[in-house]
Amino acid sequence: MRHYYTADAIRAAEAPLLATLPDGALMRRAAYGLATAIARELVARTGGIAGRRVCAVVGSGDNGGDALWAATFLRRRGAAADAILLNVDRTHPAALAGFRAAGGRVVQTISAATDLVIDGVVGISGRGALRPAAAEVFAANTAPVVAVDIPSGIDVQTGAIDGPHVKAALTVTFGGLKPVHALADCGRVELVDIGLDLPRTDVLGFDADDVRALWPVPGPNDDKYTQGVTGLLSGSATYPGAAVLSVGAAVAATSGMVRYAGSAAQQVLSHWPEVIASAGPEEAGRVQAWVAGPGMGTDDDAKAALRFALDTDLPVLVDADGLTLLSKDPGLLTGRGAATVLTPHAGEYQRLAGEPVGDDRVGAARRLADRLGATVLLKGNVTVIAGADGTTYLNPAGGSWAATAGSGDVLSGVIGSLLAAGLQPTQAAAAAAFVHARAANLSAADPGPRPAPTSASAILAHIRTAIASL
């Protein structure tokens, strides 16, 4: 499990160590970890450390001190070390003294012979884009960059970018991950343990092991009913494909049984003959969770079907046309006690919330979840899943292969199957998002090593492979 901490939480955890360790010890501990990571990167890129050249771009305060000490340690291992001081008067004095004593050079520009640049401009307290002097330095740079804690110019909490910023190949952070490490492009991220005693956090991220532990696996005494019966209200004469995709995803995600209720039964059964189809939800029979919305339209019949699902005491996932209906009549959720999962993209979010998502996607998802008493899965390259209790999962997709028509229908079916199997709504949404992203990446890489455009049908075809890979 990945845990993401605010800058305030990190600083509070550092305070006891700063009060008890010798002056500068915590910084040198962090810098040694940073230098070790940079050394590995140098070896991987150039084959060695001795004779290579690094350049630290140094801002004021501790972040610049970390960069200078790391450059000092690398200098002691035989690398040539340069430093550009963006604010000489506020450069960390002890770190600068150690750097100069080791033979480091203070320079004005990054040499063309530089093998690697260390971004020590701002740390977790920084705000806003790079200042002009720093932006000019990095604009002229062609060497790979290792960022200290965060790539400078990117907001630590939201991942927002509003101007010049550092593009990092590697980011080395200390103590605990920060939201930016999931929400923005930080290159590869390495975490250095510096001995912080961090509190519990409510911003999390699944690893493959977490999803594997949660994913329903039938036991020797299970049958098709005990494994979860998923009901789907999707598709229409206009959008029958939405039914085929959402139902197929529920089948692929190991539902014990899938029941379809809607007007696209013929198309669904031609693809998935194992599905039980009916004309409407009243005739569908017993289910353990409903998926409502993908391609079902927004007419009176669609609204009646959505109302039927929401009036039950079963978990319900609402997507696509169902979200449009909810945005027009949020009273459909009034009095609902069972779990509800909403899966909007940015436009659907704006219709539901009455305001755009904005830069703070975590805050936006949490506000809507709190207001509606639901789990909100805010789609994007980094999917944000916010529970009504404030617990939030971040799922970086690692690419935008899932940004294709019908992909959301597939995701809905997978989440619905996990809800039917009894998973809690935030965990069901987060685990499904993880598998969906993996399936999208697998489909883009099939059949060769070079990623290629994919489709919702191809993503669906790789759902089983993605699950099996866990």
Please report, in range form, the residues annotated as the binding site for K(+): 63, 119, 152
DSSP string, 143-188: S-EEEESS-TTB-TTT--B-S-----SEEEEESSB-THHHHS--SE
> Which stretch of DSSP H or E encloses residue 7?
helix 7-20
Residues 6+ apart with CB under 8 A from 221: none
Beta bridge pairs of residue 396: 382
CB count, 10 Å around CB of 416?
Answer: 35
| Region for 312 from its dihedrals, namely left if φ exceeds 0, alpha if ψ lies in -120 to 50, beta otherwise | beta
Q: Which residues are annotated as a binding site?
A: 62-66, 119, 123-129, 149, 152, 242, 295, 345, 379-383, 408-409
Q: Which of 394, 30, 398, 431 lies closest to 201 in space, CA to CA?
A: 394
Binding residues for (6S)-NADPHX: 62-66, 123-129, 149, 242, 295, 345, 409
Residue among 278, 258, 277, 279 nearest 269 (CA): 277
The answer to whether the peptide bond before residue 447 is cis (omega within 30 degrees of 0) is yes
Task: Tell which residue, 58, 109, 127, has the closest CA to residue 87.
Answer: 58
Q: Which of 223, 183, 259 is nearest to 4 (CA)?
A: 183
Task: Give the residue numbers of the binding site for AMP.
Answer: 379-383, 408
Q: Residue holding tokens 């039980």?
A: 276
Contact 181, 171 (CB under 8 A): yes
Continuous segment of H or E residues that includes residue 119: strand 116-120
Distance in angstroms between the alpha carbons of the first and the last residue of the chain:
15
* Closest alpha carbon to 161 in 344, 360, 350: 360
Alpha helices by DSSP H, 177-239: 180-183, 208-214
Specify the 3-state DSSP secondary structure of 2. strand
Residues in the chain: 470
